[in-house]
Amino acid sequence: MKNYIKIILRGVGQVMLQENAWTGLLFLIGIFYNSWIFGLGFILGNIISTSSAKYFGYSKEDIEKGLYGFNGTLVGIAIFYLFGFNFITVIAVIIGAILSTLIMHIMSKKIPAFSAPFVISTWIIILGIVFFNFASFITSPLIPSNFFNLFSSVSESFGQVMFQENIITGILFFIGIIINSKISAYYAFYGALLGSLFAVLISLPLGMINIGLFGYNAVLCGIALSNKQNNKFLFITLAIILSVLINFGLDKIGIITLTAPFVLATWIVLFLKDH
C-alpha cells in the first residue's frame, strides 16, 4: 500500500516531469487548496490510469516512475474543470484515463510523448460529450484588464499547468519543482516569465496573460528541455516563444488548447536540435 501511494504521488509529480513523491504531494496539496472537486478528479484520473497500466501488463519500471499516472491525472482535472462534477463526467474521466494509458503506451515507443496522450484523449472525450450532448461546458467570464500584473501572471502560470487559477497553488507547485530539481525550477520560472512578457510584447489580451494562460505551456517547455546540454538556453527560449504563438493560434480557431502548445513546441525544437 505504501509503495502504491508513492507511485500515485510520483504520477502526480510527473505532470511537471518530476519523478518525486514529495513533489507530487505538494502538487496535490496545491490542487485541494484551490478546489476539492479538482482534487478528486486529480486522484481519480491518476488511480485509473495507473491501475489500467498494471492491468494491461505494461512496464513495471515505467509504472513505478509514475509515467502512466500523470496523463490520467490531467484528464481527471480537465474534465471536471470543463464540465463539472457529476455522474457523466466521472464516467468520462474513467474512460479518458484508460484511453490516455493506451495512447501513452503506443506513443512512448516512437517519440517523447510528454502530455500528448492527455491532450488527445481529452479532445476525444470532449467531442463525445458535446456530440451526444451529455453535458454543457462550464464557462466563467474572463475579467478584462488594462494593466499587466507580473507577479500574478508568473505564479498563476504554474497553477494553470493543472487548470488552477490560484496564486498560492502556483507557488506550491513551484516549491514542489524546487524540491526535486533546482535546474527544472529555474527554467520553469524562466518559461513563466518569458512567456508572459512575450505575450505582452505581441499585445495578447492582458486578462489572459495575468491569469497565466500564456505562461503555463512555457513552464512545461522550460522543464522538458532543461536537461538538454547543447544550446539549452537558446532552444528553451525558442520553445517558449513557439508555445505562446501556438497557444494563441489554437485559441483563435476555437480549439481548447490544453497542453498541446507545449507538446508541439517541444517536438519542433527537439526536431530542429537533432537536425
- What would the pLDDT profile of 22-64 be if each residue is shown by its tens digit? 999 999 999 999 999 999 999 999 999 999 999 999 999 999 9
pLDDT at 227: 82
Nearest to 149 by CA among 107, 209, 104, 109: 209
pLDDT at 230 over 70: no
Q: pLDDT tens digit string along 100-113?
A: 999 999 999 889 99
Number of C-beta neighbours around residue 76 at 10 A: 33
| pLDDT, the chain, mean | 95
Confidence category of residue 141, pLDDT binned at 50, 70, 90: confident
Confidence category of residue 256, pLDDT binned at 50, 70, 90: very high
| Half-sphere exposure for 3 (CA within 13 Å, toward CB) | 5
- pTM (2 d.p.): 0.95
The residue whose grid cell reads 489500467 is 52
More confident residue, 229 or 265: 265
Nearest to 153 by CA among 218, 226, 102, 104: 218
| Alpha carbons 222 and 97: distance in angstroms, whole number | 26
Structural domains present in the chain: 2-131 (1.10.3430.10), 150-274 (1.10.3430.10)
